[in-house]
Chain A
Amino acid sequence: QSALTQPPSASGSPGQSVTISCTGTSSDVGGYNYVSWYQQHPGKAPKLMIYEVSKRPSGVPDRFSGSKSGNTASLTVSGLQAEDEADYYCSSYAGSNNFVFGTGTKVTVL
């Protein structure tokens, strides 16, 4: 199972929006509506931000939104804030209790 493809970096000024893509195949991203996104600050454990493509867990700001088209999922962070600077990873269910993560994207708030 190959890692999902994400851009290495993305950036935006405070208040702006940034969108991160996550490209897989019909065996993972395209085959299931089970794409999730995780935020990881340096030295910390990942935190669930989006699940089932576009659902937000309780406590996650509505500035975070997700979508999917075909084999590519996307995470958009609107109204960027300094605390949004982190690494972001997508993950997709790949059938038979298998999962695959994305390569990760470092988001910088300028």
Chain B
Amino acid sequence: QVQLVQSGAEVKKPGASVKVSCKASGYTFTSYGISWVRQAPGQGLEWMGWISAYNGDTNYAQKLQGRVTMTTDTSTSTAYMELRSLRSDDTAVYYCARYPRDYGDYHFDYWGQGTLVTVSS
């Protein structure tokens, strides 16, 4: 069965960086993309960007350009999302989700359990 298992909660100070991992299993990792979506406390979902696990192509949401980097390690079927220069409004639950783009599907069919990142001085 498809599973995406994310790393644990993080507490960071403003200005620091955080790197969240998402380990995939139950499917061929390089045949799908991974998107990252975040949700601030009590707020809606916000799409952050996408990475191809096949060739590393990325596309980031405009508002995060310059602060976010998404990478993959195909040897361990793990995707990573690094966010730099953290601010208090980056406090959110961060989700990874499988994106079957290479199959012509433009949605997110499986999701990780979420990782809470708290930014506080």
> Which of chain A's residues 78-106 have a Cβ closer than 8 Å to chain B?
89, 91, 93, 96-104
Residues of B within 8 A of A91 (CB): 45, 47, 107-108
Check if A99 sits within 8 Å of B113, measured CB to CB.
no
Check if A89 sits within 8 Å of B45, measured CB to CB.
yes
CB distance from B41 to the nearest CB of A (A): 12
Residue of A nearest to B112 (CB): A45
Q: Which among B44, B97, B108 has the greatest number of chain A C-beta atoms within 10 A?
A: B44
Range, interface on chain B: 20 to 34
Residues of A within 8 A of B45 (CB): 38, 40, 46, 89, 91, 101, 104
Residues of B within 8 A of A93 (CB): 106
Range, interface on chain A: 20 to 34
CB distance from B32 to the nearest CB of A (A): 13
Residues of A within 8 A of B (CB): 1, 3, 32, 34, 36, 38, 40, 45-48, 51-52, 57, 89, 91, 93, 96-104
